[in-house]
Structures are given as C-alpha cells and as structure tokens.
Amino acid sequence: MQDLVFIEGLKAQAVIGVYDWEKKIQQDLVFDLEMEHDNRVPAETDDLAKTLDYEAISNYILTFCAERQFELIETLAEHLVGELIGQFKLNAVTLTLRKPGAVPAAQAVGVKIHRKSAVTY
C-alpha cells in the first residue's frame, strides 16, 4: 500500500434524492476521501506539482456536486470516484459519502466505496 492523502469532512450541496421534493432542493453531503499516492517524490522535491493537490480535488468535488443531479448517493459516489481516478491519476481511492438528515433518527447515512485504477500511475 502506498501513502495516503486524505480529505475529511468536505461539505458540499447537491440535488440528490428519489422523492419529488428532493429534486427541487439542495441537500448537504459530507465527503471523506483517502487517496493512495507515493509521497516520497513530493517530500524530496517540496514541489506542489508532484503532489495530490487536495485543494484542486476538493474544488472538483464541489463543482461536480453543483453541476450534476442523481437520485442515489451510490450513483453519485461511483461516478465521482471514476472521474477522480481519471482526472487526478489516482491509483486507488476510498470515498465515504454521508447524507446528514436523510434519516431523522440518525446523524447521517451513506456509502463507503473503494476503487482502484485499471492503470498504475
């Protein structure tokens, strides 16, 4: 396993849900990501271009959520991870996606997926 770069508690808004009323509003989502990346080269060079730029990845996720609409968080998670792997050349990523408030008695509900790239970077 390689080193991990993580983003924790990234808050985004999205139109997400199966009910008609959900398709008309923005709802809160919370993302946690763990991305496999060899950090030895960035550590040796102190070069941002050689890292996983977590700000760029965070902004990508926020834009992704703002521009797309899904019924299921499973679908959103799968599409997002596929794009992140391709866009940022990730070897593997674990994504936890929470939808707070979806079940009133629970703090949050969600999904956790782990996907690997077909290509090794």
User: Which residues are known catalytic residues?
Assistant: 99
At 114, which helix (H) or strand (E)? strand 108-116
Question: Would you say the C-alpha torsion 41, 42, 48, 50 has a positive or negative sign?
Answer: positive
List Cα–Cα distances, 50 to 21, 41, 120, in angstroms. Answer: 44, 7, 16
